[in-house]
Amino acid sequence: MRNPIDRLTAGLPHPARVAIDWVVTLAVAVGIVLAVKAWVVNPYRIPTSSMEPTLHCAQPAEGCLAGSSDRVLANRFILHFRDPERGEVVVFDTPAEALARCGTAGTFVKRIIGLPGETVEQHDGFISVDGRRLDEPYAHGRSAAQDGRWQVGPNAYFVMGDNRSNSCDSRVWGAVPRKNLIGTVFATYWPPDRIALGA
């Protein structure tokens, strides 16, 4: 049984049919890749040291521990079916306040610390949520410099970098609206010696 392309090109010379078949095949393949990138999985590069040592950025940038930046994959699909969870590393579009307060904006990678309606407090560099101190083995560079207390609004998430002394995050520009969340980081795929599931 012939496919539709074969039927449409039946009267053409063989080289033209082969060329059209290749063009259609490549167009479909590119379409599938773009659809997956837009709706399912997307790659991201770690540009700063805010997530060190969990996710590396490249030296000689300040605070970076590796020769090349980690590349991670984010699941853009899963948050359509469930709520984000505390401890997950997420990719998100920064609120407008991030540019004003940190001098940078765009797509950030941070860890979810506070959920909607919770109260987040930092005291002597340690984080408590609704009065209970979090166990944070991933946290690095604790500092009391940004101690404070924040109320997370509805449909918003309080995010922080793992490198607490070198992260411009929700402590500075507030919680991230749910609509700004792009996806959850589920794997590191580059460099080869850093390939791993999770973050």
Instruction: State both tokens at 159.
Output: 């995010």
Give yes or no: 50 in active site: yes
- Helix boundaries (H) for 13-105: 14-39, 96-102
Q: Which of 49, 69, 110, 167 is catalytic?
A: 110
Alpha-carbon distance 95 to 83, whole Å?
19
Judge whether 77 and 187 are in contact, CB under 8 Å.
no
Alpha-carbon distance 102 to 168, whole Å?
6
β-strand 89-93 against 181-190: which pairing, if any? antiparallel
Q: Which of 49, 50, 69, 170 is catalytic?
A: 50
What are phi and psi for residue 164, nearest 5 degrees? Answer: -60, -30
Alpha-carbon distance 135 to 150, whole Å?
19
β-strand 132-133 against 196-197: which pairing, if any? unpaired
Which residues participate in catalysis according to the annotation? 50, 110
